Amino acid sequence: AEVNYLGQLQHPNLVKLIGYCCEEDHRLLVYEYMSSGSLENHLFRRISETLTWSRRMKIALHAAKGLAFLHDAERPVIYRDFKTSNILLDVDFNAKLSDFGLAKDGPMGDQTHVSTRVMGTYGYAAPEYIMTVSRYDEKNSIFLVKLLGHLTARSDIYGFGVVLLEMLIGRKALDKSRPSHEHNLVDWARPLLTHEKKCLKILDPRMDGQYLPKAAIKVANLAHKCISQNPKGRPTVSHIVQVLESL
């Protein structure tokens, strides 16, 4: 899947596939070298240089542009695994989306969604994508429960919102080391994002003094819309790009 997508889709904010090798049971993909590693490393691992507000917003914009290219392609592509470890950075902190192993063709024509086996990363996956579907087996008198995800471009937007929250707050999407009510970043942060004073208090203290409160609130409001429980309440990625470009 990855070779197919990256062979056809080329964009400044998608990692470039240089080549691949398939010999017996050995399979190898060769990408361009991204010298600054992943966004995850810079946010959550001890690296001497902390990501500034301006760099975080630059990374968010680049990631959104990469996602917009996928969603707006002639045959739309749903990324399906938008998370900090899949956003890679070059020496100038330009961001590119990587790892297209879970990417899937989006709905076409009159289709509203694609039904698919649930894959991805818990904490970033949209609620409608990980919903359960049950069927009663009369012969054995039991309910058969399986995960059948309703996948749309708005599923990717939810993942983008989670990553944007991680960049704003400096916390992981899931963190069991915190008090139980703070394990899930989205559940904990969602009610705080709509109150300006509370919102400003939970922002990553490593960015203190680097942003205008008005700009931070604007990004927080964007993140809040992206993580809406209702897929139709989430913005398009084109709108996300517009908001981030206006900062």
Contacts 24+ apart (CB under 8 A), 240-245: 240/64, 240/68, 240/157, 240/160, 241/61, 241/64, 241/65, 241/68, 243/218, 243/219, 244/57, 244/60, 244/61, 244/64, 244/219, 245/61
pTM of the model: 0.85
For the chain, the domains span 2-245
What topology does CATH give the domain 2-245?
A: Transferase(Phosphotransferase); domain 1 (1.10.510)
pLDDT along the chain (247 residues), means of 10: 64 88 82 93 84 98 96 84 94 92 47 46 84 57 54 91 98 95 97 97 97 98 98 97 98
Alpha helices in the chain (DSSP H): 2-8, 39-44, 53-71, 153-169, 185-189, 196-201, 213-226, 237-245
Paired residues of 20 in beta bridges: 29
The residues assigned a catalytic role are 81
**pLDDT computed for residue 108 by the predictor:** 44
**pLDDT computed for residue 114 by the predictor:** 43
**pLDDT computed for residue 6 by the predictor:** 58
CB atoms within 10 A of CB 176: 9
**pLDDT computed for residue 1 by the predictor:** 53
**pLDDT computed for residue 208 by the predictor:** 96
What tokens does 214 get? 């008005």
